[in-house]
Structure 1
Amino acid sequence: MRRNETDFATPATSKAAGHLGGLVRQARLARSWTQQGLAERARISLATLKRMEGGAVEVSLGGWLAVFESLGLLPLFSALRDPASAAL
């Protein structure tokens, strides 16, 4: 049986997923794309995109990355840095 990721999400994780979902929605609307259009571009189902925009934590990382790539936002992830790793 699959585990329900929502049951294991911390409040911080849920908040981050909600924030990312909002960013996806804003970016989609800024491009005047429909949910169906973005889902097709990202090669995911419409239901998955709707869950993402709603801040669902159970959507796969691959799905999130495909959407960010379709929106042209994937390069933003390369700017992420971990100060602890940099100290090594």
Structure 2
Amino acid sequence: MRTSPSDLVSPAVRRAAAHLGKLIRQARLARSMTQSELAVRAKTSPSTVMRVEKGGVESGLGTVLLMLEQLGLLHHISELADPTTQALLEHKGRKRARSSAVADLDF
């Protein structure tokens, strides 16, 4: 039996998806746009718009970003920042991650 992405998400992810879906729905309604109109603009199906608005986690990130773009909300994603990550990167001075384990190449 195949595992669905919705079976693997944590409660926190479910809450975040529901919140994002609610924001998308409110933005769409505030702009007097139907789900079908948003679907055409975001190059997806009305059923996908409906699932995203209901907090579904199965849709791809690109689809959600296209919806946000069509609603004029994409710039909010660009403004996201994590000061903790920035502080850790500055402290460690790393530009990329490296494995700490030594590869065993002895055949």
Q: Which amino acid aligns with 2:3?
A: R
Q: Does 1:29 align with 2:29?
A: yes
How many angstroms apart in 2 are the aligned matches of 1:77 and 1:62? 13
Any idea what the Cα deviations from partners look like across 1:29-68, whole Å, max 9, x if unmatched?
0000011011111111111101000100111001100000
Kindly state the Cα deviation for residue 2 of structure 1 after the two structures are TM-superposed: 5.3
Structure of greater relative contact order (alpha carbons < 8 Å, 6+ residues apart):
1
Say what the alpha-carbon RMSD is for the aligned residues: 1.1
Kindly state the Cα deviation for residue 84 of structure 1 after the two structures are TM-superposed: 1.9
- The equivalent of 2:72 in structure 1 is 72
Number of residue pairs the alignment of both structures matches = 88
1:2/1:82 Cα in 2 relative to 1: closer, same or farther (>3 Å)? farther
Structure 2 unaligned residues grouped into runs of 5+? 91-107
Alignment of 1:37-56 (within 5 A): 37-56=37-56
TM-score, normalised to structure 2's length? 0.78
Q: Which moved more, 1:2-11 or 1:16-25?
A: 2-11
Structure 1 unaligned residues grouped into runs of 5+? none
Any idea what the Cα deviations from partners look like across 1:6-33, whole Å, max 9, x if unmatched?
1001000000000000000000000000
How many angstroms apart in 2 are the aligned matches of 1:42 and 1:21? 15
Between Structure 1 and Structure 2, whose CA radius of gyration is higher? 2
